[in-house]
Amino acid sequence: MKSCSIGRRTAGVTLAALMATALAACGGSAPARDEGALTIGVAFETLQTEFWVAAWNKLRADTAERKITMLEAVADGDPNRQLEQVRTFINRRVDGIILVPKDGKTVIPMIRAANAAGIPVVLFNRPADRTDAPHTAIVPDNVAITKATVEYLIEQARASGSPAKAAILLGDLSDVNAIGRRDGFEAAVKEAGDAVQVVSRIPTEWNQERALAGLQSAFQAHPDISLVLTSSDFMLPSIKSVLSSLGKWQRVGDEGHVILGGFDGDPTAYSMMLDGYLDATGVQDVFWEAEQAIEVIVGAKSGKSPPARIEDPGFAITQANMASMADRMWGAVMARRGP
């Protein structure tokens, strides 16, 4: 009986509190804000890789410099949480939302919610699946960046005087980024004609262990592979492991050096370029992408129609241009800043 009475009392007090909460909610009002100042909501799916941290820091720095208020939210991989965060931004009547979604599908209801409130949405570096909900997607031009990188690698191979035997570590081919990078590689190889022969296309599904095992097998079958491209820099440590075990982890210009290229421009790639082991890597210009994302929202506020798609042309950073281009390489900036 006692526990019953406690239950009723608790239920009564709970009900009263919830009613009070509801009353307070109805009586509350949206926060007042200086109409001249801009507020942008930035919601990232994760901050667990250096690439996203670099983008986040750039957005923070640029909004602060332009005296724009940046509301921050990280969903930790939970799309339901991200939808809540987007709705919270909408409730706070932000002027625009920059989103890194978990995937291209769960983001669609978020875009629609923002559309309904008349708030422009920018998808940063991760596009939505097919949808008629208006938004801006800023994406890297994977094909062009990879092609430029591979052209440099082939140039180095030509300089050695003999045709190159090449291997590529492919990403997960259900990922548009992986497909674009493969296509960029194939386009450069095709244009090079007899200067390069692709002897191995290694599927990794973005898995380091698969990359390692696949590359080991490729070198067993073709010990004369002289050019390797990875579709992402995060697989460089696997490549180093395989080449070291074969005695082929040599600096550029040294006897036995395997011409090596990557994609991303992360701190590991920067460090390997500084040390002279990596010939080139394709860099997504994350700083430029961040500037564009803010610019789209500022433009929308002043009446400009946001574009549906902005392609980051990126660039290839090579041993030849590193001195002049390193400041634009996000991995270099992160590496110099330190942990």
Partner 1 sequence: MSWVGGGGKGEGKRGKGEGNPGAVALALNVGAFLTFALLVPGFATGPNLETVVISALPLFLLAVGQTFVLISAGIDLSSTAVVGLVSVVGGVVMSAEEGTQGGTLGTLTGLAAMLATGVAAGAVNGACVGWLRMPAFMVTLTLGMFAGGLAVWLARTVAATETLYGLPSQFLQIGGDAGIALALTAALGIAAHGLLSGTLFGRALQSVGYNARVALVSGLRVQRVILATYVLGGLFAAFAAVLLTGRLETASPTHGRQLLLDVIGATVIGGTSLSGGRGRIGWTALGVLFLALVGNGLTLMNLSDFAITIVKGLVILAAALLDAWRVRRRGRS
Query: According to CB under 8 A, which one of 49, 64, 91, 116 is a site residue for partner 1?
Result: 91
Q: What angle do CA 241, 172, 213 make, to 5 degrees?
A: 30
With binding defined as CB under 8 A, does residue 250 bind partner 1?
Answer: no
Instruction: Choose the binding region for partner 1 from 10-18, 194-202, 294-302, 321-329 (rule: CB under 8 A).
Output: 10-18
Closest alpha carbon to 330 in 269, 256, 262: 269
If one asks whether residue 5 binds partner 1 (CB under 8 A), the answer comes out as: no
Among the listed residues 53, 88, 186, 328, the single contact to partner 1 using CB under 8 A:
88
Return the closest-CA partner of residue 157 out of 238, 284, 259: 259
* φ, ψ of residue 333 in degrees (nearest 5): -65, -45
Binding to partner 1 in span 104-123, by CB under 8 A:
105-106, 108-109
Length of the chain: 339
Q: Which of 87, 210, 222, 328 binds partner 1 (CB under 8 A)?
A: 87
CB of 111 to partner 1, least distance (A): 11
Query: Taking CB under 8 A as the rule, which mask of x and - marks residues 172-211 in contact with partner 1?
Result: --x-------------------------------------
What is the C-alpha separation between 126 and 124, in angstroms, rounded? 6
Strand, coil or helix: what is 162?
A: coil
Q: Which one of 59, 74, 97, 243 is in contact with partner 1 (CB under 8 A)?
A: 74
CB 228 within 8 A of CB 263: no
For residues 90 and 114, is the Cβ–Cβ distance under 8 A?
Answer: yes
Residues 34-63 that bind partner 1 (CB under 8 A): 47
- The yes or no reply on residue 286 touching partner 1 (CB under 8 A) is no
DSSP per position, 223-235: TT--EEEESSGGG
Q: Which residues of 4-41 are buried (b: 16+ CB within 10 A; e: fewer)?
A: eeeeeeeeeeeeeeeeeeeeeeeeeeeeeeeeeebbbb
- By the rule CB under 8 A, 76 interacts with partner 1: yes
Q: Is 6 in the site for partner 1 (CB under 8 A)?
A: yes
Contact call for residue 21 and partner 1 (CB under 8 A): yes
Nearest to 120 by CA among 149, 86, 146: 86
- Distance between CA 84 and CA 170 in Å, rounded? 35
Alpha carbons 309 and 289: distance in angstroms, whole number:
12
Query: Which one of 19, 37, 49, 77 is in contact with partner 1 (CB under 8 A)?
Result: 77
Dihedral of the alpha carbons of 49, 119, 89, 135, in degrees to the nearest 10: -20
Please compute, for residue 125, the number of CA atoms within 13 A of its CA located in the half-sphere on the CB side: 22
Contact 196, 163 (CB under 8 A): yes
From 38, 54, 83, 316, residue interacting with partner 1 (rule: CB under 8 A): 83
Q: Does 28 bind partner 1 (CB under 8 A)?
A: yes
How many chain residues bind partner 1 (CB under 8 A)?
Answer: 47
* Minimum separation from the CB atom of position 125 to partner 1 (A): 18
Q: How far is the CB of 94 from partner 1 (least distance, A)?
A: 11
| Residue 68 or 167 having the CB closest to partner 1 | 68
Between 79 and 276, name the residue whose CB sits nearer to partner 1.
Answer: 79
Contact positions toward partner 1, by CB under 8 A?
A: 2-3, 6-7, 9-11, 13-14, 17, 21-22, 24-26, 28-32, 47, 71-74, 76-81, 83-85, 87-88, 90-92, 102-103, 105-106, 108-109, 129, 174
